[in-house]
Amino acid sequence: MPKVIVFGSMNMDLSIDAPRVPAAGETLAGSGFITSAGGKGANQAVAAARLGADVRMLAAVGADAFGDELTAGLREAGVDTVGVRRLGNVSTGTAVILRTSGENRIVLHAGANHALTAADTDADLRRIGEKNDVLVTQGECDPVATELALHVAHELGLYTIFNPAPARPVPDDLWPCVDLVCLNETECQVMCGVLPEDDASCLEAARRLRELGAGTVVITLGASGSFGLGADDRLIRVPAAPTTVVDTTGAGDTFIGALAAGHVRGLSLSESMSLGALAAALAVSRLGAQPSIPTAKEVEALR
C-alpha cells in the first residue's frame, strides 16, 4: 500500500467553552478547559493513521514540553515522526480556541510551523516520497515551503491533496500540481470567488477550481454534508452522518485524513467521502481535535 506523507502543522490547542463570544473589555466565566493535541497537519495525519494508512509526518516543533508531547502523541497514534524536526530557537505552534454553541473560533501562534524551510521540505520529500504515495498539506506552514511541497510531490508522481486552510490566494501555477483540493465554504470563496451554498453554486465553484488546474474538488458543507466533482467530471453528493455536536474542532481534518486513507486503501472518491462523513460525525461528538478522531474499527461499528 502506498504511504501518506503529511507536510503540515502541529499545535497544542488551548480550548475553552464560553456561553457566548465576550465583548471588548468583557471577561466571561468559561468551562471545559482542555489542553490537547491539534494542528491541521497533525490532525490529518492522525486521522489517516487511525483509518488504516501508513503515515509519515513532515513538520517542526520547538524544543519545549508542548513539542515533545505532540510528537509522542503522533507516535502513539501510529504516525512515523522521523521527519518531525525539533528546533531550538522557536516555540511549538499554539492555537487558542474559543468554543461557543458548537462553533469554534481559533487564534493561532504559528511558531515552529513557519520555521520549516523550503530547502528542508524539498530534501525530506525527495528522501521519502515514492511514486503513488499521497502528499497531504494545508495552509498553516510557511507558504513558500507548502507550495514547494506540492510542486516537488507532483514532480515525483505523488497524488497530492491540498487543504487551503487557513485560505489565502495561491499562485496560478500551483493548481496543476493539486490532484485533489478539499475546502470548506469560506475557504472556497477565498480560493475561487464563489460561496458554495447549494448544489448549483458548489458545481460552479468546483468548475472554477478545475479550470484553474485542480483535479478533483471536494467541498465540505458542515451539517449539509459534502460535494465532490471527480477528475472524471463525476458529481458526488454525500450527506453528513447523524451526530450530537460536542466540539467541531478537527472535524474537517478528520474528513481530509479519511480522503487520504481512502485513496491509499483503494476506495473510490465517493467511498472515501462516506468514510470521511462517518469519521467526522464521530469526531464532532467528542471533545478536542486529536483525542476525538476515531479508529477504522469505531467507524465500521457505525455502518
Half-sphere exposure at residue 180, Cβ-oriented, CA atoms within 13 angstroms: 25
Binding mask 6-25 for ligand RIB (x = CB under 6 A): ---x-x-x------------
In DSSP notation, 132-177 reads: T-EEEE-SSS-HHHHHHHHHHHHHHT-EEEE---S-----GGGGGG
Set of cell numbers at residue 167: 485560505
Q: CA-CA distance, 257 to 276, in Å (whole number)?
A: 8
Number of chain residues interacting with ligand RIB (CB under 6 A): 16
Cβ 166 to ligand RIB shortest distance, Å: 9
Looking at the Cβ atoms of 12 and 149, the one nearer to ligand RIB is 12
**249 is a contact residue toward ligand RIB (CB under 6 A):** yes
Measured CA distances, 22 to 17, 26, 95, 185, 198 (Å):
12, 6, 18, 25, 32
**90 is a contact residue toward ligand RIB (CB under 6 A):** no
Contact at 8 Å (CB) between 98 and 125? no
**43 is a contact residue toward ligand RIB (CB under 6 A):** yes
**Where does this chain touch ligand RIB (CB under 6 A) — which range of 39-47, 143-151, 155-163, 193-201?**
39-47
Looking at the Cβ atoms of 66 and 227, the one nearer to ligand RIB is 66
* Residue for grid cell 458542515: 222
**142 is a contact residue toward ligand RIB (CB under 6 A):** no
Q: Does the annotation count 253 as an active-site position?
A: yes
Residue type, 63: A
**Where does this chain touch ligand RIB (CB under 6 A) — which range of 125-133, 155-163, 223-231, 249-257?**
249-257
Looking at the Cβ atoms of 121 and 220, the one nearer to ligand RIB is 220
**276 is a contact residue toward ligand RIB (CB under 6 A):** no
Cβ 137 to ligand RIB shortest distance, Å: 13
Set of cell numbers at residue 89: 530557537
Contact at 8 Å (CB) between 250 and 233? no
Positions marked active-site: 253
Q: Can you give the binding site for ligand RIB, defined by CB under 6 A? A: 9, 11, 13, 38-40, 43, 95, 106, 108, 140, 249-250, 252-253, 289
